[in-house]
Structures are given as C-alpha cells and as structure tokens.
Amino acid sequence: ERTKLAKLRRLPSITTDGEEVELLANMEIPAELPLIAQAGAQGIGLLRTEFLFMNREDLPDEDAQVAAYAPIVEAMAGDPITIRVLDWGGEKEMEALAAGVPAQTSANPALGLRGIRMLLKRPELLEAQFAAILRVAGKAPEGAVRVLLPMVTIPTEVKAAREVYDRVARRLRRRGEKLPEKLPELGAMIETPGAALAADAIALEADFFAIGTNDLAMYTLAVDRGDAEVAHLYDPLHPAVLRLMQFATEAALRLRMPVSVCGEMGGNPRLVPLLLGLGIRCLSMNASAIPRVKQAVRSLDIGDCARFARRVMEQSDPARIRELVDGFATGVT
Ligand code: PEP
Ligand code: MG
C-alpha cells in the first residue's frame, strides 16, 4: 500500500479522459518542505505566513521576511508558489500581542479586524510583506510566485491592496531591486459568503481566486467549529456552501480566471468528483493528502463528475448529499 502510494508520486494527475488537475500543497511551517516534495505536489497553493509572526515579541521586518520566503521559493525550483499575506485575527488572535500586531477588542473576533481588513488598517505591515515577496519573486522564474489576500469581502479591498502593491513595487524599482518584468498575480481568497456572492465583481479586481472552504463553511453556517454545542452543524456539504462555491467558480471560469480550492475539502478524495464536476481543476491541500487525491483524480471521468455534481446540486439535505458522495466510487482505498 505504501509503495503503491509512493509510485503515484511520479504519475501525472490526470483524469481517465485526459483532463489535468493541478495538485498543490498547503504549507504552514517551513519544516513541511520535505513532505511536500515527497508527496509529489506540483507546487504550493497556499503558503500561510502566520508562522513568521508567532512566538516573537517584535515584527519581522522586510529583510527577515525575505530570509524566510527565499529558501522556500528556492526549494520549489520554479514550481508555482502562492504566498498569502498575513491572516491575523479570528482564532489566530491569541498571539497577536506578542507579535506587536494590534490586539482586537471585538466581542466577535471572527467578525472583526481580520486578514486584509487588519492589513489595510496597518499598511506598513502590508508594505513590508509585499516588498519581501516581490524581492523574492524577482529571483524566481517569471510567474512562479503569486500573492494571495485573505478574508476579502468587497472588491475595493483588492483594489486598495493593489494600490499598495504597485506603490511598493515602484519604490523597490527606484531602489534598484530586481523585480519580475510583470508583477506576480494578486489573488483573493473566497472564504466569506459575501465574497462568494460578489465573486463576479471581485473577479474584476483580482487575478485569481482561492476558495477557502474552512472559513466559507463557518461563516455561511454561522458555526464556530470550536463550540461543541454547535459543531455538529458544521458541514461543508451543506447546499448553501456548495452553491456559494459553485457561484464563485463559475464567475472565475467565465473570465478564464484561475480558481482553486484550498480549504480542507480540497484534500478529501471523496469530494474530488464533486469538485471536478463543479469545474475546479486545481486543489491545494495538506501534503499528506495528495497521493490519495491523485488516485481519485486518476480514476475519474469529467463527464461523469459533471453529471454527478448536477445531481448533488439538486439536493437540499446535507445528509443526502453525503450519501451520494459516499456512494460515488472513486477507486480510492
Ligand atoms: C480556509 O479558510 O479555508 C483557508 C484555507 O484558510 P485558513 O484555513 O488558513 O483560514
Ligand atoms: Mg481562512
């Protein structure tokens, strides 16, 4: 079984009818790098940068961030890597004081100054992070690095972030830094119901989408997974979550804009038929999930997936959807 999964590493991620599905790794700490190579990831679809800001008393400056990103980008040797700027707040609030990031006083941190909201309020943090990413991208092959904004809810957040981004790039060029000819793409996380329903408008400002199903499910269903009283209501297969994913995916596909799924759903082999059926062709997940997801991809036909997704999307009961999902053979053991 182990060797079978190991062999999968060298096989292409392609459906039986020849559709390529990009399988990328999520990364939380640099120590995961060897695992990512071992798993056969085609790149990093989500580099969470919170690790840089945790367990320290000061903020990492531009140079410190370059020193952190450069070895990761180098190790990926030209494979794509999407670096998400700091997603502070919400459940990540605990360490905020230690890192010199403003502490939240909100009674509902998940609804407060989180992600891009905090960064636009503290543009010096966003500037340092953009500058570090741009400098590292300047040493990587053109197009290898992309930049991702967390917790977007309105198009103007992407627009405002891009203004900072362009300004930082101009400043770096004046300083004589070598940047890529074309600036790395700037994408938006679709992880709130607002962003999903406004995806067509956000698509006009963003270069790509990454659908974050963890937060999308939490905010859509108004369920805090950490709260035992309501945890049973947390179900990413709730039709409301699926409809939002479908709406956002279709908005991207209409514009031929890249879209990936990078929440936990993306790493569940049983959900691959549904995600491919909805039009998703890029999944980012914990590295350890890649072999089994690839196994699923290699057993599937896109036409079957599309028909299956249409059937699922007609359902209103999450339990029935789970039955359908569990009943769809993916050849995964
Ligand atoms: C998500 O919300 O699905 C996501 C990928 O972001 P994070 O898990 O880091 O909040
Ligand atoms: Mg999230």
For residue 107, how many other CB atoms are within 10 A of its CB?
7
214 annotated as ligand-binding: yes
Kind plus residue range of the DSSP H or E element containing 284: strand 282-286
DSSP string, 170-206: HHHHHTT----SSPPPEEEEE-SHHHHHTHHHHTTT-
| The amino acid at 303 | G
CB–CB of 31/72 below 8 Å? no
Angle between helix 62-75 and helix 123-137 axes, rounded to 10 deg: 40
- Its pTM stands at 0.95
**SS3 string of 293-309?**
HHHHHHHCCHHHHHHHH
Look up residue 21 and give its DSSP letter: -
SS3 40: coil
Query: Which ranges of 60-206 would DSSP assign to H, the alpha helix?
Result: 62-75, 116-121, 123-137, 155-174, 193-197, 199-202
Any atom of ligand 1 within 6 Å of the Cβ of 213? yes
147 CA to centre of ligand 2 in angstroms: 15
Any atom of ligand 1 within 6 Å of the Cβ of 88? no
Task: Tell me the average pLDDT across 196-211.
Answer: 98
The backbone region for 279, taken as left when phi is positive above 0, alpha when psi lies in -120 to 50, beta otherwise, is: left
pLDDT band at 190 (very low <50, low <70, confident <90, very high): very high
26 CA to centre of ligand 1 in angstroms: 10
For residue 21, pLDDT beyond 70: yes
Report pLDDT for 260: 98
Report pLDDT for 245: 98
SS3 147: strand
Active site residues: 262
Tell me how far apart the alpha carbons of residues 30 and 79 are, in angstroms, rounded to a whole number.
16
Ligand 1 site-directed mutation target among 28, 191, 216, most atoms within 8 Å of CB: 191
Nearest CA to ligand 1 atom 6: 212
Supply the ipTM of this predicted assembly. 0.99
Tell me how far apart the alpha carbons of residues 248 and 197 are, in angstroms, rounded to a whole number.
7
Hunting for tokens 């053991």 — which residue is that? 333
Say which residues have a Cβ less than 8 Å from residue 91's Cβ, sequence separation at least 6: 109, 110, 226
Phi, psi angles (nearest 5°) of residue 48: -75, 130
Say which residues have a Cβ less than 8 Å from residue 51's Cβ, sequence separation at least 6: 28, 29, 30
pLDDT band at 4 (very low <50, low <70, confident <90, very high): confident
Angle between helix 239-254 and helix 302-313 axes, rounded to 10 deg: 130
pLDDT band at 104 (very low <50, low <70, confident <90, very high): low
pLDDT band at 102 (very low <50, low <70, confident <90, very high): low
pLDDT, one tens digit per residue, over 129-142 is 999 999 999 999 99
Look up residue 14 and give its DSSP letter: B
pLDDT, one tens digit per residue, over 295-326 is 999 999 999 999 999 999 999 999 999 999 99
Any atom of ligand 1 within 6 Å of the Cβ of 215? yes
Q: Which residue has the higher pLDDT, 204 or 103?
A: 204
Partners of 29 in the β-ladder: none
Tell me how far apart the alpha carbons of residues 262 and 80 are, in angstroms, rounded to a whole number.
14
Report pLDDT for 100: 62
311 annotated as ligand-binding: no
